[in-house]
Amino acid sequence: MIGRVLVTVGAVAVGTGAAIQPPAYSTKIESVRVDVLVMDGGKPLLGLRPADFDVLDDGVPQQVDLVSFEQIPLNVILALDMSDSVAGERLAQLQDAGGAVLAGLTKDDQAALVTFSNFVSLASPLSGRVADTRRALDDAYGYGATSLVDGVYAAMQVGESDAGRALLIVFSDGLDTSSWLTADAVLDAARRSDAVAYSAAIGEGASSSFLRELSALTGGTLYKIESTRDLRAAFVRILEEFRHRYLISYSPRGVPQSGWHRLDVKVKNRRATIKARPGYLAGSTPLP
Protein backbone atom coordinates (compact mmCIF):
# COMPACT_ATOMS: atom_id res chain seq x y z
CA MET A 1 0.00 0.00 0.00
CA ILE A 2 2.83 2.40 0.78
CA GLY A 3 4.66 2.27 -2.52
CA ARG A 4 8.19 2.54 -1.23
CA VAL A 5 7.48 3.93 2.21
CA LEU A 6 8.94 0.57 3.15
CA VAL A 7 12.24 1.24 1.41
CA THR A 8 14.59 -0.68 3.66
CA VAL A 9 13.68 -3.44 6.05
CA GLY A 10 16.01 -5.44 8.27
CA ALA A 11 16.68 -8.81 6.71
CA VAL A 12 14.75 -11.80 7.94
CA ALA A 13 16.85 -14.93 8.13
CA VAL A 14 14.87 -18.04 7.37
CA GLY A 15 16.22 -21.50 7.95
CA THR A 16 17.26 -23.71 10.76
CA GLY A 17 17.02 -21.63 13.88
CA ALA A 18 18.39 -18.41 12.37
CA ALA A 19 17.59 -15.18 14.20
CA ILE A 20 15.23 -12.64 12.69
CA GLN A 21 16.38 -9.04 12.78
CA PRO A 22 13.81 -6.43 13.83
CA PRO A 23 12.61 -4.08 11.08
CA ALA A 24 14.12 -0.67 10.38
CA TYR A 25 12.52 1.89 8.11
CA SER A 26 13.21 4.80 5.77
CA THR A 27 11.29 8.06 5.99
CA LYS A 28 10.88 8.79 2.29
CA ILE A 29 7.36 8.66 0.83
CA GLU A 30 7.31 8.54 -2.96
CA SER A 31 3.87 7.09 -3.54
CA VAL A 32 1.08 5.32 -1.76
CA ARG A 33 -0.53 2.15 -3.10
CA VAL A 34 -3.88 0.92 -1.85
CA ASP A 35 -5.53 -2.37 -2.80
CA VAL A 36 -9.29 -1.79 -2.86
CA LEU A 37 -12.18 -4.19 -3.26
CA VAL A 38 -15.35 -2.46 -4.52
CA MET A 39 -18.62 -4.36 -4.17
CA ASP A 40 -22.05 -3.34 -5.42
CA GLY A 41 -25.02 -5.55 -4.67
CA GLY A 42 -22.72 -8.33 -3.47
CA LYS A 43 -20.73 -8.40 -6.72
CA PRO A 44 -17.40 -6.81 -7.64
CA LEU A 45 -17.86 -3.46 -9.38
CA LEU A 46 -15.65 -3.41 -12.46
CA GLY A 47 -14.53 -0.80 -14.99
CA LEU A 48 -13.73 2.05 -12.61
CA ARG A 49 -11.15 4.71 -13.51
CA PRO A 50 -9.03 7.14 -11.45
CA ALA A 51 -11.69 9.87 -11.69
CA ASP A 52 -14.24 7.51 -10.10
CA PHE A 53 -12.39 7.40 -6.77
CA ASP A 54 -12.17 9.86 -3.90
CA VAL A 55 -9.15 9.28 -1.66
CA LEU A 56 -8.61 11.20 1.57
CA ASP A 57 -5.21 10.94 3.28
CA ASP A 58 -5.61 12.25 6.83
CA GLY A 59 -8.68 14.10 5.58
CA VAL A 60 -6.81 15.75 2.70
CA PRO A 61 -8.15 14.99 -0.82
CA GLN A 62 -5.55 13.35 -3.06
CA GLN A 63 -5.13 13.18 -6.82
CA VAL A 64 -5.38 9.53 -7.88
CA ASP A 65 -2.65 8.85 -10.43
CA LEU A 66 -3.37 5.26 -11.35
CA VAL A 67 -6.07 2.63 -11.03
CA SER A 68 -5.12 -0.85 -12.19
CA PHE A 69 -7.27 -3.93 -12.37
CA GLU A 70 -5.98 -7.37 -13.40
CA GLN A 71 -2.96 -5.73 -15.03
CA ILE A 72 -0.24 -6.21 -12.44
CA PRO A 73 1.08 -9.73 -11.74
CA LEU A 74 0.52 -11.24 -8.32
CA ASN A 75 3.13 -12.31 -5.80
CA VAL A 76 1.29 -14.99 -3.83
CA ILE A 77 3.02 -16.13 -0.66
CA LEU A 78 1.66 -19.12 1.19
CA ALA A 79 2.60 -18.77 4.87
CA LEU A 80 1.66 -22.11 6.39
CA ASP A 81 1.72 -23.48 9.91
CA MET A 82 3.78 -26.68 9.94
CA SER A 83 3.77 -27.34 13.68
CA ASP A 84 3.37 -30.88 14.96
CA SER A 85 -0.45 -30.62 14.99
CA VAL A 86 -0.41 -30.41 11.17
CA ALA A 87 -0.02 -34.02 10.13
CA GLY A 88 -1.86 -36.83 8.41
CA GLU A 89 -5.22 -35.88 6.89
CA ARG A 90 -4.90 -32.28 8.09
CA LEU A 91 -1.60 -31.88 6.22
CA ALA A 92 -3.01 -33.49 3.07
CA GLN A 93 -5.95 -31.07 3.08
CA LEU A 94 -3.65 -28.10 3.61
CA GLN A 95 -1.47 -29.23 0.70
CA ASP A 96 -4.56 -29.64 -1.47
CA ALA A 97 -5.73 -26.11 -0.62
CA GLY A 98 -2.33 -24.62 -1.38
CA GLY A 99 -2.19 -26.57 -4.62
CA ALA A 100 -5.56 -25.14 -5.69
CA VAL A 101 -4.18 -21.60 -5.24
CA LEU A 102 -1.06 -22.40 -7.26
CA ALA A 103 -3.19 -23.95 -10.02
CA GLY A 104 -5.14 -20.67 -10.22
CA LEU A 105 -2.10 -18.51 -10.98
CA THR A 106 -1.36 -17.11 -14.43
CA LYS A 107 1.92 -17.31 -16.34
CA ASP A 108 2.90 -13.82 -15.12
CA ASP A 109 2.22 -14.46 -11.44
CA GLN A 110 4.81 -15.58 -8.93
CA ALA A 111 4.53 -17.79 -5.87
CA ALA A 112 6.52 -18.60 -2.75
CA LEU A 113 6.14 -20.88 0.24
CA VAL A 114 7.08 -19.92 3.79
CA THR A 115 6.55 -22.53 6.49
CA PHE A 116 6.77 -21.98 10.21
CA SER A 117 7.07 -24.32 13.16
CA ASN A 118 9.68 -23.75 15.86
CA PHE A 119 11.63 -21.93 13.14
CA VAL A 120 10.81 -20.23 9.84
CA SER A 121 11.78 -21.73 6.49
CA LEU A 122 11.67 -20.26 3.00
CA ALA A 123 10.71 -23.57 1.47
CA SER A 124 10.34 -22.08 -2.02
CA PRO A 125 11.57 -18.58 -2.94
CA LEU A 126 9.41 -16.18 -4.92
CA SER A 127 9.51 -17.04 -8.61
CA GLY A 128 7.38 -17.82 -11.62
CA ARG A 129 8.33 -21.50 -11.35
CA VAL A 130 5.10 -22.48 -9.67
CA ALA A 131 5.89 -26.18 -10.09
CA ASP A 132 8.86 -25.69 -7.73
CA THR A 133 6.56 -24.20 -5.11
CA ARG A 134 4.15 -27.10 -5.55
CA ARG A 135 6.95 -29.62 -5.01
CA ALA A 136 8.06 -27.79 -1.87
CA LEU A 137 4.47 -27.84 -0.62
CA ASP A 138 4.21 -31.57 -1.26
CA ASP A 139 7.45 -32.14 0.67
CA ALA A 140 6.35 -30.15 3.74
CA TYR A 141 5.56 -31.91 6.99
CA GLY A 142 4.45 -30.91 10.45
CA TYR A 143 6.59 -30.88 13.57
CA GLY A 144 7.58 -28.64 16.46
CA ALA A 145 6.08 -25.45 17.89
CA THR A 146 4.37 -22.46 16.22
CA SER A 147 6.31 -19.32 15.17
CA LEU A 148 3.29 -17.61 13.66
CA VAL A 149 4.44 -14.01 14.13
CA ASP A 150 7.92 -14.67 12.73
CA GLY A 151 6.42 -16.59 9.81
CA VAL A 152 4.10 -13.74 8.85
CA TYR A 153 6.94 -11.22 9.01
CA ALA A 154 9.10 -13.39 6.74
CA ALA A 155 6.23 -13.80 4.29
CA MET A 156 5.68 -10.03 4.10
CA GLN A 157 9.32 -9.46 3.22
CA VAL A 158 9.29 -12.19 0.57
CA GLY A 159 6.14 -10.71 -0.98
CA GLU A 160 7.65 -7.26 -1.35
CA SER A 161 10.99 -8.45 -2.70
CA ASP A 162 9.88 -8.02 -6.32
CA ALA A 163 7.51 -5.98 -8.48
CA GLY A 164 3.87 -7.01 -8.34
CA ARG A 165 1.02 -7.13 -5.86
CA ALA A 166 1.75 -9.08 -2.71
CA LEU A 167 -0.95 -11.41 -1.43
CA LEU A 168 -0.25 -13.32 1.79
CA ILE A 169 -2.36 -16.38 2.46
CA VAL A 170 -1.75 -17.45 6.06
CA PHE A 171 -2.89 -20.67 7.70
CA SER A 172 -2.58 -21.58 11.37
CA ASP A 173 -4.31 -24.03 13.66
CA GLY A 174 -2.83 -22.67 16.88
CA LEU A 175 -1.59 -19.66 18.80
CA ASP A 176 2.00 -18.46 18.61
CA THR A 177 4.30 -20.32 20.99
CA SER A 178 7.88 -19.64 19.85
CA SER A 179 8.32 -16.43 17.82
CA TRP A 180 11.29 -14.15 18.39
CA LEU A 181 9.62 -10.99 17.09
CA THR A 182 6.74 -9.45 19.00
CA ALA A 183 3.26 -9.22 17.53
CA ASP A 184 3.37 -5.43 17.88
CA ALA A 185 6.59 -5.21 15.85
CA VAL A 186 5.15 -7.24 12.98
CA LEU A 187 1.83 -5.40 13.02
CA ASP A 188 3.81 -2.17 12.83
CA ALA A 189 5.59 -3.58 9.76
CA ALA A 190 2.18 -4.44 8.29
CA ARG A 191 1.11 -0.81 8.67
CA ARG A 192 4.01 0.16 6.41
CA SER A 193 3.69 -2.66 3.91
CA ASP A 194 2.05 -3.03 0.50
CA ALA A 195 1.10 -6.64 1.21
CA VAL A 196 -2.51 -7.68 1.78
CA ALA A 197 -2.90 -10.54 4.26
CA TYR A 198 -5.75 -13.01 4.25
CA SER A 199 -5.86 -15.71 6.92
CA ALA A 200 -7.67 -19.02 7.23
CA ALA A 201 -7.53 -20.45 10.73
CA ILE A 202 -9.00 -23.28 12.76
CA GLY A 203 -8.93 -24.21 16.43
CA GLU A 204 -7.00 -21.81 18.64
CA GLY A 205 -5.67 -20.11 15.53
CA ALA A 206 -9.17 -18.82 14.76
CA SER A 207 -9.10 -16.84 18.02
CA SER A 208 -5.72 -15.24 17.29
CA SER A 209 -5.92 -11.48 17.91
CA PHE A 210 -2.71 -11.15 15.88
CA LEU A 211 -4.29 -12.66 12.75
CA ARG A 212 -7.45 -10.63 13.22
CA GLU A 213 -5.54 -7.36 13.48
CA LEU A 214 -3.15 -8.29 10.67
CA SER A 215 -6.04 -8.84 8.28
CA ALA A 216 -7.77 -5.62 9.33
CA LEU A 217 -4.63 -3.50 9.01
CA THR A 218 -3.78 -4.76 5.52
CA GLY A 219 -7.31 -4.78 4.10
CA GLY A 220 -7.64 -8.55 4.05
CA THR A 221 -9.97 -10.96 5.86
CA LEU A 222 -9.65 -13.58 8.58
CA TYR A 223 -11.67 -16.68 7.72
CA LYS A 224 -12.50 -18.79 10.76
CA ILE A 225 -13.17 -22.27 9.43
CA GLU A 226 -14.42 -25.39 11.16
CA SER A 227 -12.04 -27.91 9.64
CA THR A 228 -9.12 -28.23 7.24
CA ARG A 229 -11.69 -29.81 4.90
CA ASP A 230 -12.86 -26.23 4.31
CA LEU A 231 -9.41 -24.89 3.47
CA ARG A 232 -9.56 -25.45 -0.29
CA ALA A 233 -12.75 -23.42 -0.68
CA ALA A 234 -11.39 -20.66 1.57
CA PHE A 235 -8.07 -20.43 -0.28
CA VAL A 236 -9.73 -20.35 -3.71
CA ARG A 237 -12.15 -17.66 -2.52
CA ILE A 238 -9.23 -15.56 -1.26
CA LEU A 239 -7.44 -15.69 -4.62
CA GLU A 240 -10.61 -14.90 -6.57
CA GLU A 241 -11.42 -11.94 -4.34
CA PHE A 242 -7.92 -10.55 -4.58
CA ARG A 243 -8.03 -10.65 -8.37
CA HIS A 244 -11.11 -8.41 -8.27
CA ARG A 245 -9.34 -5.69 -6.30
CA TYR A 246 -8.21 -2.38 -7.75
CA LEU A 247 -4.74 -1.05 -7.13
CA ILE A 248 -4.91 2.69 -6.51
CA SER A 249 -1.76 4.81 -6.52
CA TYR A 250 -1.22 8.44 -5.57
CA SER A 251 1.61 10.77 -4.55
CA PRO A 252 0.67 12.14 -1.12
CA ARG A 253 0.33 15.91 -0.95
CA GLY A 254 -0.42 18.20 1.98
CA VAL A 255 0.19 15.53 4.63
CA PRO A 256 3.03 14.88 7.12
CA GLN A 257 6.02 12.75 6.15
CA SER A 258 5.71 10.60 9.25
CA GLY A 259 3.19 9.08 11.61
CA TRP A 260 -0.11 7.33 11.13
CA HIS A 261 -2.12 8.39 8.07
CA ARG A 262 -5.83 7.62 8.10
CA LEU A 263 -7.15 6.56 4.70
CA ASP A 264 -10.68 6.95 3.40
CA VAL A 265 -11.48 5.56 -0.05
CA LYS A 266 -14.86 6.08 -1.70
CA VAL A 267 -16.39 5.65 -5.14
CA LYS A 268 -18.11 8.74 -6.46
CA ASN A 269 -21.87 8.70 -7.08
CA ARG A 270 -22.31 5.08 -5.95
CA ARG A 271 -23.32 3.41 -2.73
CA ALA A 272 -20.63 0.79 -3.05
CA THR A 273 -19.05 -1.26 -0.28
CA ILE A 274 -15.31 -0.69 0.03
CA LYS A 275 -12.72 -3.00 1.55
CA ALA A 276 -9.29 -1.42 1.97
CA ARG A 277 -6.72 -0.88 4.66
CA PRO A 278 -7.68 1.85 7.17
CA GLY A 279 -4.39 3.71 6.86
CA TYR A 280 -0.62 3.46 6.74
CA LEU A 281 2.35 4.31 8.91
CA ALA A 282 5.13 6.48 7.50
CA GLY A 283 8.40 7.65 8.96
CA SER A 284 11.42 6.23 10.69
CA THR A 285 10.55 4.20 13.77
CA PRO A 286 13.07 1.40 14.42
CA LEU A 287 11.59 -1.20 16.73
CA PRO A 288 13.31 -2.91 19.64
Q: Give residue 29's pLDDT band: very low, low, confident or very high (50, 70, 90).
A: low
**Rounded to the nearest 5°, which phi and psi values hold at 84?**
-70, -15
Q: Give the CATH number of domain 74-243.
A: 3.40.50.410
The pLDDT of residue 191 is above 50:
yes
Average pLDDT value for the chain: 87
pLDDT at residue 20 tops 70: no
pTM of the model: 0.87
* pLDDT (tens digit per residue) in 43-75: 999 889 999 999 999 999 999 988 887 678 999
Over range 116-141, report the average pLDDT. 96
pLDDT at 67: 85
Say whether pLDDT at 128 is over 50. yes
- Which phi and psi angles does 38 have, rounded to 5°? -115, 120
CA distance readout (Å), 119 to 53, 142, 273: 43, 12, 39
Give the model's confidence band at 25: pLDDT under 50 very low, under 70 low, under 90 confident, else very high: very low
CA 283, CA 288: separation in Å to the nearest integer? 16
Q: What is the pLDDT of residue 271?
A: 87
Is the pLDDT at 284 greater than 60? The verdict is: no
H helices of the chain, where? 89-103, 130-139, 148-159, 183-191, 209-218, 231-243
pLDDT at 24: 42
What number is the average pLDDT over the span 165-179? 94
